[in-house]
Amino acid sequence: MKINDLKNENRDLEKNIAREAKKQAETKREYKRSLAGVRKLKAQDALADQELTALTSKNQELKERKTFLEDQCNALSSQKTAKEAELNLLKKKLDMVVEFSENRKLTAEEKLEETLYELNATKNELLAADKYLKVTEEEMEKYRGEVEEMRE
């Protein structure tokens, strides 16, 4: 009976050992899967670290570029302000020159009108003098004729 009990116990132990071996094999497979998962996660983590490093570097580069562009923008803004001031000054000078030239033009037009008036007055005087000269010449001819007649 003890032998039968031991045999039964031995069978049970063999079954238990077989079950444990299966469990151990399953545990090994799960361990290998987990290990592969961990390796995969480590690889992904390394890639993520590389991406993070690259992004950090790119972020720093963009910050430096932004600072450079802001400085350049400020410099251009200063130049714009200076050019606007220069433009305003030139506009004022242009306005002064235009006003001066308009004044000279008006003065020249007035002088021209005065000269034309004087010229017309002189022309009228000359015409009057010419008429007077003709009349005087006619009278002289008339008197010469009378003097000639008297002499004869």
Q: Is residue 40 part of a domain?
A: yes
Q: Is residue 152 part of a domain?
A: no
Range of lowest pLDDT (18-32, 86-100, 134-148): 18-32
2-53 pLDDT, tens digit per residue, is: 788 888 888 888 888 888 889 988 988 888 888 888 888 888 888 888 999 9
Q: Is residue 121 part of a domain?
A: no
Q: Is residue 150 part of a domain?
A: no
Q: Is residue 146 part of a domain?
A: no
Q: Is residue 66 part of a domain?
A: yes
Q: How confident is the model at residue 74 (pLDDT cuts 50, 70, 90)?
A: very high
Measured CA to CA in angstroms, residue 85 lies from 21, 74, 80, 82, 93 at distances of 93, 17, 9, 5, 12
Contacts of 34 (CB under 8 A, 6+ apart): none
Could you give the number of structural domains in the chain? 1
Q: Identify the domain containing residue 15 by its residue range.
A: 1-109
Q: Is residue 132 part of a domain?
A: no
Q: Is residue 94 part of a domain?
A: yes
